[in-house]
Amino acid sequence: MIIDIITIFPEFFDTFLSTSIIKRAIQEKQVEIRLHQIRDYSHNKHRNIDDTPYGGGVGMLMTFPPFYDVIKKLRTEDSLVIYLSPQGKLFKQSIAKKLAKKSHLILLCGHYEGIDARVESLIDMELSIGDYVLTGGEIPAMIVADAVTRLLPGVIHEDSSEEDSLQNGWLKFPQYTKPETYEGHTVPPLLLSGHHQKIADWRKEQQIRRTYTKRPDLIRSIKMDEEEKAILTRIKAEKKQK
């Protein structure tokens, strides 16, 4: 996969690209992440890429021509152009899974009051990482790139990614490691039993219990099987009795 990131602050990504899983994925050529300085496409001798909005208003707006030119240069038949904006569709794990099947992503990082609205005629998708406003699109671009890269074949162990929170709708079950006991805090005895089926059953219930307790809003979009429905019904009944 190739991920092109269009930004006025390419240095913002230095640490992101040189650490942890992203660094390894780049070294092993599972992903190529390319940074593009939007100022290089400026039509202004001072390399300015912002101007005052027509109709008045506070702040500055990123101009259209640089984005038109860079998208025209980078885009191919396989490209998906994504504008990172608080007005976009909420980015979720389900979207990350779909994007991971693409071969080329182009991520546009806005700044100031955003990008001239004509850019919307050039994009395929507008994504938001949450209902709040950030200084620019660089952090959202890193989030999207990270979430997508770790789903690419071979980047992390497939079994590990399948157990992640939200991968199948549910939050992840609680996990523990050594020591078994510390200052009176102990690991659930079942996890030390070696009984794999009972552990699997416990983890399934904990996924449902955690999701119902912490993120009940997620449950509406989960396609549950009969076992999961029965577990959820029991958990709800327990809550009512308390």
192-223 confidence digits (pLDDT tens): 999 999 999 999 999 999 999 999 999 998 99
C-alpha–C-alpha distance, residues 162 and 3, integer Å: 23
Domain count, the chain: 2
Same domain for 216 and 118 = no
* Residue at 98 is within a domain: yes
**3 state SS of 214:** helix
* Residue at 168 is within a domain: no
Same domain for 151 and 209 = no
Q: Rounded to 5 degrees, what are φ and ψ at 130? A: 165, 165
H/E run at residue 202: helix 196-214
Instruction: Tell me the pLDDT band of 234, cut-offs 50, 70 and 90.
Output: very high
- CATH value at residue 229: 1.10.1270.20
- CATH value at residue 94: 3.40.1280.10
Other Cβ atoms closer than 10 A to 7? 23
**pLDDT of 241 higher than 90:** no
H/E run at residue 81: strand 79-90
Same domain for 110 and 40 = yes
* Residue at 163 is within a domain: no
Confidence (pTM): 0.86
Catalytically active residues are: 86, 113, 150, 164
Q: Which domain holds residue 77?
A: 2-157
Q: Rounded to 5 degrees, what are φ and ψ at 25? A: -65, -35
C-alpha–C-alpha distance, residues 11 and 110, integer Å: 15
